[in-house]
Amino acid sequence: MTIRGKAHIAGAYEHPDRKIPDKSVAQVHAEVALGALADAGLSLSDVDAYFCAGDAPGFGALSMADYLGLKRLRYTDSTETGGSSYLAHAGHAAAAIAQGKCRIALITLAGLPRSQRPHRASASQLAPEAAFEQPFGPTTVSMYALAARRHMHEYGTTSAQLAAIKVAASQHAQHNPHAMLPTPVTVEEVLDSPMISDPLHRLDCCVISDGGGALVVVAPEVASELPRQTVKVLGHGESPKLAANGRIDLTHTGAVWSGPRAFEEAGVTQGDIDYVSIYDSFTITVLQTIEDLGFCAKGKGGAFVADGSLLAPHGSLPFNTDGGGLCNNHPANRGGMTKVIEAVRQLRGEANGPVQVPDCEIALAHGNGGSLGTRSHAATLILGREDA
């Protein structure tokens, strides 16, 4: 059974704020829920399926479902795969809708890492691997730096090539009035920014922002009755990529497995993709993902991105036209939700004018959760314009 065309994204909403000092996390979940439902022309009372991940406060999906007053739920899913969760949720929602388990699914994300003190999840300290990693002082940046170093060693990738990814994102962000970092930067500025964990500089890293986002996924018969243009779910694939009994390979992501699954289900190939949202926690995340999804040969990502390929609207693979996590927004330290939202904007023709891809018919959104340096999870979603 395939989900191709059996579910539509009818609503998408990104919280406009990047610093939210005076609200609770649950409150921001509610704001983005209402925003996405309003975008779809629906209300909370229509929702019969609810999806959220580890950023949602409380017990799985139950606390937020109770908070929101969702009274008609017959399907919940609190799959937690970090930043890729929301792409997985969209795929799971489409599958549940295709099977008749529900008709109107709400997916929410929110977090306030910029305003609230970061807290270390106690669950991660209880993980079986924790004693063999945490005592050595790994940080999020340093684990991606390990991946970048190894990729450089094996393929000759350079810091200037990685910087080209940030440069392209910044070119796009200047057209986004909500972007946290709207000023274009140069390769030299990236290389001159402080070294955080070498070879990654500060400007190789995504922003830390408050915020959130939400999606509404509906059955085709619901979509056909809504006033707004919807987006068709064409394919979905996901895969964990694990530390593999200590034989971890730091040069690729789980996209090598999630990508082919999504392409097969969608019945399209790389050449059919008009726009991509690629999770950009760090520049190296984008580089490895582009290779792993087959947009260029393995190890050739550096030359590919340095050639201006990622620039919208006319590059060969326009990416992250909202500025991405590198420049726009990285709510709850999880970039998957905003990746889907910008892909929906592109397919509706509602991206910011200068970066709208002409005649954008098929888009790919990709999320990566966890850490490239240890265990990660990849989720790929392929979406089509309503008439695709």
Partner 1 sequence: MSTEQAGPLPAPAPAVNPETREFWAATAEGRLLLKRCLDCGSVIWYPRAICPECSSLRTEWFAASGRGRVYSYTVNHRGEGAYRDAAPFVLAYVELDEGPRMMTNIVEADPTGLAVGMPVEVTFHDTGDDSALPRFRPS
Contact flag: residue 59 with partner 1 (CB under 8 A): no
Among 100, 122, 137, 271, binds partner 1 (CB under 8 A): 137
Rounded Cα distance, 57 and 25, in Å: 7
Quote the DSSP letter at residue 207. Answer: P
DSSP assignment of 319-387, as one string?
Answer: B-TT-HHHHT--BTT--HHHHHHHHHHHHHT-S-GGGPPTT--EEEEEEEEE-TTS-EEEEEEEEEETT
Contact flag: residue 121 with partner 1 (CB under 8 A): no
**Which region among 78-86, 140-148, 175-183, 226-234 touches partner 1 (by CB under 8 A)?**
140-148
The SS3 call for residue 32 is helix
Nearest alpha carbon to residue 218 among 6, 4, 381 = 6
Among 19, 198, 267, 349, binds partner 1 (CB under 8 A): 198
The SS3 call for residue 211 is strand
Contact flag: residue 193 with partner 1 (CB under 8 A): no
Nearest alpha carbon to residue 347 among 9, 39, 29, 54 = 9
Q: Which residues of 303-342 are buried (b: 16+ CB within 10 A; e: fewer)?
A: bbbbeebbbbbeeebbbbbbbbbbbbbbbbbbbbbbbbbb
Contact flag: residue 245 with partner 1 (CB under 8 A): yes
Contact flag: residue 153 with partner 1 (CB under 8 A): yes
Nearest alpha carbon to residue 279 among 85, 108, 132, 99 = 85
**Which region among 128-136, 261-269, 270-278, 341-349 touches partner 1 (by CB under 8 A)?**
128-136
Query: Could you tell me the smallest distance in angstroms from the CB atom of residue 119 to partner 1?
Result: 12
Contact flag: residue 133 with partner 1 (CB under 8 A): yes
Query: Could you tell me the smallest distance in angstroms from the CB atom of residue 125 to partner 1?
Result: 7
**Which region among 2-10, 14-22, 197-205, 335-343 touches partner 1 (by CB under 8 A)?**
197-205
Contact 288, 301 (CB under 8 A): yes
Query: Could you tell me the smallest distance in angstroms from the CB atom of residue 152 to partner 1?
Result: 9
Query: Could you tell me the smallest distance in angstroms from the CB atom of residue 302 to partner 1?
Result: 17
Q: Residue for token digits 């139950």?
A: 62
* Contacts to partner 1 from residues 246-275, by CB under 8 A: 246-248, 250
At 44, list the tokens.
């909370």
At 117, list the tokens.
């003190």
Query: Could you tell me the smallest distance in angstroms from the CB atom of residue 158 to partner 1?
Result: 15
**Would you say 16 or 195 has its CB closer to partner 1?**
195
Number of residues that bind partner 1 (CB under 8 A): 37
Contact flag: residue 190 with partner 1 (CB under 8 A): no
Binding track, positions 204-243, relative to partner 1; x by CB under 8 A: ----------------------------------------
Among 18, 29, 89, 150, binds partner 1 (CB under 8 A): 150
Query: H/E/C letters for each residue in 91-135?
Result: HHHHHHHHCCCCCEEEEEEEECCCCCCCCCCHHHHHCCCHHHCHH
| Interaction site with partner 1 (CB under 8 A) | 120, 125-126, 128-139, 141-143, 145-147, 149-150, 153, 194-200, 245-248, 250, 374
